Structure 1
Amino acid sequence: MIVITGATGRLGSQVVDRLLERVPAAEIGVSVRAPGRAAGLAARGVRVRRGDFADPGSLAEAFEGAAQVLVVSTDQTGDAAVAHHVAAIEAAREAGVKRVLYTSHQGAAEDSLFAPMADHAATERRLAGAAFTALRNGFYAGTVPLLLGEALRTGELAAPADGPVSWTAHADLAEAAAIILAGEGRFDGPTPPLTAPVAFDLEDVAALLTDLAGRPVRRVVVGDDEWVATLTGHGVPADRAELLLGMFRAARRGEFAAAGSDLEALLGRPATPLRAVLAEAVEGQ
């Protein structure tokens, strides 16, 4: 059996959908905090059990009988995130799981300027010692529309200095995870960066928006302190604003610039272009 955690989330739900195209439903299980939200999966024949990283005792039953467990990383940061990931890893191994897979990140590194990357690196260290696969996923392309602010209204994409990022679609990464879980591709340890083949900075994003919207969108670089002050002025907690600023600092150091063909080779098709993700954002305005 293959068990997916976080199966009602944006990535986990798509992994399950793609896995159902490759593996009988009876061979798939999900571990979710609220089983009622996975009623649709249960109706499709998927085993649904409660599993909560914050309640390690619940994971023993959730992982029972699994040969593989995909631990989908949480949206927390810092020690809490690592503790939850480690709880899931240890519970999986205690349940006799043969391989633990983890949704890591292309930028996973202890010295990253973006705090969540250090969390991924710490989790990967705890995976060592038994069979594991760390999916070095590209930076989610779904983040880009969140960075646009009022760009489509004002014609100015205002943000701190950045650098190239190989923005990668959730759908592509979900399909890649399903392919690996189904045994159609096997990686031991960290995978190569699973990214789109091209990296874009926000200057490139502004150019794409100009073309898609049919009106000029200009990239405006805002000072780090000014940007943080603007966020906190809108009610964002100071520590959260500083964490978000770390993403830009890391990008301009080139931490997310890796781009290649490994994801496309695994998928057997072209990766979803950033233009398609932005087109949805423009249509939604």
Structure 2
Amino acid sequence: MIVITGATGALNGATVDHLLELVHPSEIAVAVRDVARAQRFADRGVQVRRGDYDDSDSLTTAFDGADQVLLVSSSDPGADATALHRNAIDAAVAAGAGRILYTSHQGAGLDSPFKPARDHAATEQMLADSGVAWTSLRNGFYAHSLDFVMGDWRETGVVSIPVDGPVSWTDRADSAEAAAAILTSDGAYEGPTVLTARDAPTMTEVAAIASTVVGRKIEVSIVGEEQWVADRVAAGANEFMARFTLGIFLAAHDGRFAGTDPLLGELLGREPRTTRDFLVSSERAT
């Protein structure tokens, strides 16, 4: 039995969809906070169980009979993510899971300026200490985040950033498909497993790609850390979120998202989608 958390979200929901192409629905269960939102999986024969990282008892029940558990990382910037992840790991261990998989990030590090990267590193350490076989899916930074970090570049023709650095922008759909492949690999992947796009362009290089996509010059303005935060706040952003996002740029500037690995393409059996692919599809959607 494979139990997948967060299946009403985009990432692990897509993983379940791909998994249904590889195994019988009776071998899959989803653990979600709101079971009503998972009806589409129930309609396909998947077991739907209530499981909430804030409710340890619900998790122990949700993980019952699991050979593998795939844990999605908390996406709430204000949450105590490591405490939530500890609840989930402890419940998976108590349920007797043979392997715990976790959606981590390629930039995981306790000293990262980006808070989620610190949470990922702490969670990986908890997994290593759990006594259970584990796999950390260190996904590249999801390409759809470009819409957020690039701001209103389509209107202004300018991408304003505090500092620049390389990022292996990776398609979330590719990450989901790879996760399904790893779940059905008979434990072939142990510990940190890097899943990234082939390239890691800087924002200056992303702007150049965007220029070719939209057919006009897109420039980059590097304004410095405090000025960038002040500009975001002046534009209506919450300062907490502005500084949270600043951490992305600072980590990129440190080279923490620069690494690339061929494994994602090998698992997909094709080339992973590129930054250009994302910008083209995003442009068509506008």
TM-score w.r.t. the length of structure 2 is 0.96
CA contact (8 A) 1:78 1:115 kept: no
Gaps of 5+ in 1: none
Shift of 1:236: 2.7
> What is the number of equivalent residue pairs in this alignment?
284
Compare 233-242 and 221-230 and name the one that shifted more: 233-242
2:110 partner SS: coil
1:253-285 deviation line (CA, Å, top 9, x unaligned): 100000121211122211011111111221233
CA contact (8 A) 1:207 1:217 kept: yes
Q: What residue is the counterpart of 1:183 in the other structure?
A: 185
* Aligned mates of 1:71, 1:155 — CA distance in 2: 39
* Aligned mates of 2:206, 2:276 — CA distance in 1: 9
Shift of 1:77: 4.1
CA contact (8 A) 2:63 2:69 kept: yes
- Partner AA of 2:280 in structure 1: A
* Aligned mates of 1:176, 1:210 — CA distance in 2: 30
- Partner AA of 2:195 in structure 1: L
- Partner AA of 1:214 in structure 2: G
Residue 235 of structure 2 corresponds to residue 229 of structure 1: no
Are the structure 2 counterparts of residues 254 and 93 from structure 1 closer, same or farther at C-alpha, using a change threshold of 3 Å? same
1:220 partner SS: strand
Q: What residue is the counterpart of 1:168 in the other structure?
A: 170
- Same amino acid, percent of matched pairs: 49
* Aligned mates of 2:151, 2:117 — CA distance in 1: 24
Which residues of 2 match residues 104-123 of structure 1 at below 5 A?
104-123=104-123
Which residues of 2 match residues 141-156 of structure 1 at below 5 A?
141-156=143-158
Shift of 1:136: 1.1
CA contact (8 A) 2:104 2:136 kept: yes
Q: What residue is the counterpart of 1:66 in the other structure?
A: 66
Compare 235-244 and 195-204 and name the one that shifted more: 235-244
Q: What residue is the counterpart of 1:41 in the other structure?
A: 41
* Aligned mates of 1:244, 1:46 — CA distance in 2: 37
Q: What residue is the counterpart of 1:198 in the other structure?
A: 199
CA contact (8 A) 1:78 1:119 kept: no
RMSD of Structure 2 on Structure 1 (CA): 1.3
CA contact (8 A) 1:185 1:266 kept: no
Shift of 1:239: 2.5
Shift of 1:161: 1.4
CA contact (8 A) 2:164 2:204 kept: no
CA contact (8 A) 1:89 1:127 kept: yes
* Aligned mates of 1:174, 1:167 — CA distance in 2: 15
2:107 partner SS: coil
CA contact (8 A) 1:179 1:185 kept: no
Shift of 1:78: 7.0
TM-score w.r.t. the length of structure 1 is 0.96
